[in-house]
Every structure is written in C-alpha cells, then in structure tokens.
Amino acid sequence: MTACPARSNRVGVPALSISCDMLVFGGTGDLALHKLLPALYHLHREKRLHADVRILALARSQRTRAAYQALAERRCRAQVARADFDDETWQSFAARLDYFAMDAGQSADFGRLAKSLGGDDGRVRVHYLATAPDLFEDIATHLQIAGLAGPKARIVLEKPIGHSLESAQAINAAIGAVFDESRVFRIDHYLGKETVQNLMALRFANGLFEPVWRAGHIDHVQISVCETLGVENRGGYYDHAGAMRDMVQNHLLQLLCLVAMEAPVRFDAEAVRNEKVKILEALKPLSGLDVQDKTVRGQYTAGKIGGQEVPAYYFEKQVDNDSDTETFVAIQAEIDNWRWAGVPFYLRTGKRMARKASEILIQFKPVPHRLFGDGEANRLLIRLQPEERISLQLMAKRPGKGMRLKPVELDLNLADAFNKQRRWDAYERLLLDVIEGDSTLFMRRDEVEAAWEWIDPIIKGWHQHYQSPRPYPAGSNGPEQSQNLLERHERQWAD
C-alpha cells in the first residue's frame, strides 16, 4: 500500500499523486461523461495519476465494463481536443476504468459494492457524488453502514448544497455525521479556473494593486456570469432552483469573496477559507424594501441567439407553462467592513443573454482633477470566459498636436502568455486536489451556510412583495430594470 504523502508547503510545488480508488456515483450522467472522465483522462495523459489509481463508475443501468468503456470513449472523444486524444493513451486509461451497476438509494447494493472493492485496508477512496442533491444524505449513510467511509475516505459534493439555509444545514449535518470536515470537498468548478486563481496572484503577489484595492480608490465592482444557452436538458431541476440558487449562491458569491477578501496569513485551506467567510458575514443583509430597490429578477422570452429563433423559458422542456422562476438576477450588494464600506458590488447572471461572458470589472475612481479636460477612469477587467485574460485600461495621448486622450488596454492573454503549456480544465485541477487531500479551492461548511444566510431573505422578499420576474428577450442584456440599477448612480454595465 502506498502511504499518503504530505502535501508540499511550498506554493507552486506539486505534490505527487497517491494511490486511490475514485468512485463516481452517477457515472452515466452528463457531469461524469462530459467533465469528470475527460479531466481524469487528461491527468492520466499528463502522468499526474499514480499507477494504482482506479476509477469506478456507478449507476443503475445494467451494462458490462466493456460497454461502459465504449460509452466513455465516445463521450471523451467528443470533449477532448483531437490533438490530445490518441488510442494508445485511451487504452491505458481504460484499463483503470470499471463499471458497477447499483442503486444509490438501496443499502444492500452498498454491501455488494464493499464486497467487490474488498476490505478497508486503509486505501484512500474518493466518493464523488455526481448525483441529485437529494441523494447526498442517503449515500453518506449507506457508505458508513457498508464500511466504505473509513478515516481515509473522502466525499465530493456538487452544488447546489441544499435549496435554503435550513436544507443546507440538514445536508451538512448528515454528511458531517459520517465524514469529518477535512474529508468533505464541496466543489465549485469556478474556483478551479486558471483566471480565478490568477485573481489571487494578481492581488497578493503584486505590490502594485494593494494600496488602491479599497474604497478610497475603487468606485464599484461588477461581477457578471452571462450565458447564451437556455436551460437545455435541466428544465426539471432549474424550474425549482432558478438563477439565484443555481448561480448566485455559489459561483458569484465565491468570486465576490476572492475579489474582496483580505490576504490570508498563509496559502492553505483554512487560512484562505477563513478570509472568505469573513466577507460573506460582512455582506449587508437585503430584506424588505431593499430587495425591491437593489435586486432585479428576469425571465427570458422568445428571441434570437446567433440568428436563430429560440423559445421563451416557459416553453422549454420540463418547465411549467406558468413558471415564475427567474433566469436572470442582478443585485447591488455592499460589504460592511473597513476596506469596502460604501463600494457597491453589482452581481449579475442570466441565461439567453446577448453574449457568453464571465468577468469581473474593477472600476476605479476618476482622477481628482481632469487636467486635460477629458478622459475616462481606469478599470481592470478580469475575464474568465470565453477567453481567459486580464486587461487594465489606462489613458494615453493620441498622436498629433494637443493633449487628446484615448483609453488603451494593457492586455494579458493567458493563452498567449503560456502558449507552450496546455490549459488545464478546472475539473482536472480540482480532482487532483481531492486525490491529494488539498481543500483550499473547496467550500467549507460555514461558507455554504453563510452564503445561504444572505440569500434566503432576498428570495423571501421576492415572494413577500410579489416581485415577479421581468421579461427580457432572448439575445438581449437582460431586463431594462437591471440597467436602471446602475444608471440611477450614473454607472453602467460593462457591456
């Protein structure tokens, strides 16, 4: 048996992968086939997996190992770049890959699984729950009964963790009764994105920005996650969740934490997550009339995306025809602490928008005296997708006579800057961290619950004041009311 090595305490020095079993519950679902297996294939191809790492997909459908490997190969070929996929590498990867038919809701099936795996010999086992959240509690309990939740077992939970503070607390309590917190990995794939981690490098490895990263110099911050896609095949789930629970409670609040947090005393899991929790606890509560004044709900109607007609949300598959679920949310948030007092943070997410973009805009205040009569305030744009780049807008003189100014960009395209290195997918990085036991980029229990504590009153306020979603045409920038959220303070979205 290979012992689990200590993770290097030198930032940037990778630890060696360890021997483990990766059990993927929901192994025939889209997440497993489109994200997890391609990520594991890349880690295998890059020789980042220990030779003894085994991958076991679990699902209810009856199929042979060969049949599952064929399914996985088809999906991976579709997801992996042609230059990165070759038959020889796939065959060696497939040798790691097995399939086990079981029902995650049946305790007896976990007994069969334990027998198939053999006794708990101290081997690290990672239980990845790529399932519906309502199965989390049962799976954890069944794992414990079957003896599969030993001291070296880990569990990975996909969002959403509950649909409210109360439900999140119930899930966390049930998981915590089986796995101690150090072995629980609540995954948010946004935190695995290269640009998100570059945000921490930008802030804490460069002395340039720290003196101005505060209320005295920053006018406002925008965090936008906009999609051109609709709900696709997720209508049944999405119609009960909506944009607030699906995106704001996790992705956008995590990005807000990374923008606003103080520098941790060291770069490790507890220090980083302590600072993020402080930001969530410092968010000014929104309730009552504040919900009406500082939030906007929207729902897309029929329109055009890329020249093609798309249906309204309420005509999507598995969506109620009279649904009042929001597909768009905009919020004006404030952080009530010394660094950020008085600086608005505008959060926005929506489906069927005019463009696909995930980005963070730091809008600096203008110079105190405009010596040359014109010019714009500096701004820093951190783009997560579709391309990963960081650009700083500065004012420069136009060529010719006089002092006519023009905004110019200092642009860092991460793909160009590291063009000889393949860009890792977020799941590759996060899966490797799980295997190595590094929880820095994962959410802690109190983070999840602090986020819900801020979100719940907003949702409650929408229902108390009958704040129905505002319609917006597919292919637009959202409801007009979301523009007003900024325009009344003489600001505008970065569109």
246 annotated to bind ligand: yes
State the catalytic residue, choosing from 34, 251, 369, 463. Answer: 251
| Cα-based angle 435, 34, 36 (whole degrees, multiple of 5) | 5
339 annotated to bind ligand: no
Torsional sign, CA 325, 329, 333, 339: positive
317 annotated to bind ligand: no
35 annotated to bind ligand: no
276 annotated to bind ligand: no
115 annotated to bind ligand: no
Question: Is 50 noted as a catalytic residue in this protein?
Answer: no
Residues labelled as active-site residues? 251
Residues flagged as binding site for NADP(+): 60, 159
Annotated binding-site ranges for substrate: 189, 193, 227, 246, 351, 356
Annotated binding site: 60, 159, 189, 193, 227, 246, 351, 356
